[in-house]
Structure 1
């Protein structure tokens, strides 16, 4: 595997952001941050990525260089300002848009592209005190009934216990609208995969999927009851009279 050179990591600020550092740290913290970052970025890890893995190693080499190391380590009583983490929700990662970020005493509206993943960075050109680029790490936090792991989305859906026992057609309300699935009687494990409903493809990352965990519930209408409800919703008394 080719390891990227230090020149491929633009700045010390980017290197620290890649390792998840909040400014200078003591030697043990620096090593621990690198180990955690390289483990999370490894291609074999959930949500890992070969390109990010190479960048983490390049960042570590840059921080370890003689010119950068004094700036990376903490000095007594000194704490350098660190770029804020941009926290977004799964729907923000799906659809992109604008995100407000408080940085250097200002509130900035930053364009968020579709398909951002946790661990990626938003680049602010020339926003550093010395005119250098600033890289803001992105974290996707679960919201709106959705969670994100790597490229994929995860959600729970209540299902009538009788339907899980007998099998039949199930309609699931997802972020992309209603989707139908067929339940096999006594199906285990209680998880379905809806292809192509995860995070959109971006760069070298593939289109993700939506995984739905079925939660047995006695409060959910059975398939027959649900069909009756939908029938009466369409065929109102006015329509029947006509």
Structure 2
């Protein structure tokens, strides 16, 4: 005799109990009971878990099929995992819209400002039996920015001479140019620009932008840049005049 798996529902009585029912009900009441039960059983709910979620769906199918006993043939088949919504750091900063392919349809989903990786976007009534679907969010590195928690990270090339001697540095950030002062021989080579990370959202704090300074001999120092500009303007012909 085959052992019964956790995701099987053997009888209509058990199916009704899983949906919080004592027996057959009208279609509208059955749908309402299923929506409430599957929402409470969803893995993202406080008291939910994957096994209970599967069993509620199996119970719904059994009741819809009538009196035919349901023992899921072979291993239990979980509902398809919701697609991951992959966005870039600028989407997390500014919000906007993203197109997601779901059940053969393309949906334009609103992105609020300040999304973090691991959060979920709720699609009301888009699941089985009109249940809600929760799409996990993943923020991928893009546009020279990386995200970790509330904070943004980027690299910025700096003339080696400036790092050795110290001086003023201009950094192009997503929020515009920002100035910083480099101390001679500064280590570690990372600056924190306050409040330029992900915006505050719910219980999450305003993040910061961390800039890793990358020594480079391929870009001029501030003094060398001024000298180049001077020589471009004051050519020998102009000096002779």
Q: TM-score, normalising length from structure 2?
A: 0.69
Quote the residue 2:131 is aligned against: 132
Tell me which structure has the larger Cα radius of gyration.
Answer: 2
- RMSD of equivalent CA atoms: 2.9
Distance 1:216 1:105 in 2: 49
Instruction: Deviation per CA, 1:162-181: give whole Å up to 9, x if none.
Output: 00000000001111111100
**Alignment-derived partner of residue 118 in structure 1:** 117
Tell me, what secondary structure is at the counterpart of 1:91? helix
User: 1:83: which partner in 2?
Assistant: 82
Deviation of the 1:199 alpha carbon: 0.3
What residue number does 1:4 align with? none
Q: Is the 8 A contact 2:39 2:131 kept in 1?
A: no
Matched position secondary structure for 1:165: helix
Alignment correspondent of 2:183: 184
Residue number in structure 1 paired with 2:161: 162
Q: Deviations over 1:51-84 (max 9, x none)?
A: xxxx7xx3xx42178x446469x96272421110
Structure-to-structure mapping, 1:193-232, within 5 angstroms: 193-228=192-227
- Find the residue that maps to 1:130 and give its secondary structure: helix
Measured in 1, the distance between the counterparts of 2:149 and 2:41 equals: 26
> Residues of 2 paired with 1:11 and 1:226: CA distance?
64
The structure-2 alpha-carbon separation of the partners of 1:186 and 1:203, relative to structure 1 and needing over 3 Å to count, comes to: same
Q: Distance in 2 between matches of 1:236 and 1:116?
A: 51
Q: Secondary structure at the match of 2:98?
A: strand
Deviations 1:123-167 (A, max 9, x none): 101000210011000000111110000100000000000000000
Structure 1 pair 225/168, CA: closer, same or farther in 2 (3 Å)? same
What is the 5 A alignment of 1:73-112? 76=75, 78-112=77-111
1:68 and 1:99, CA in 2 relative to 1: closer, same or farther beyond 3 A? closer
SS in 2 for 1:92: helix
Paired residues, number: 186
Residue pair 2:89, 2:139 contacting (<8 A) in 1 also: yes
Query: Which secondary structure state, in structure 2, belongs to the residue aligned with residue 83 of structure 1?
Result: coil
The 1:201–1:163 alpha-carbon spacing in structure 2 relative to 1, beyond 3 Å, is same
Q: TM-score, normalised by structure 1?
A: 0.69
Unaligned runs of 5+ in 1: 1-6, 19-54
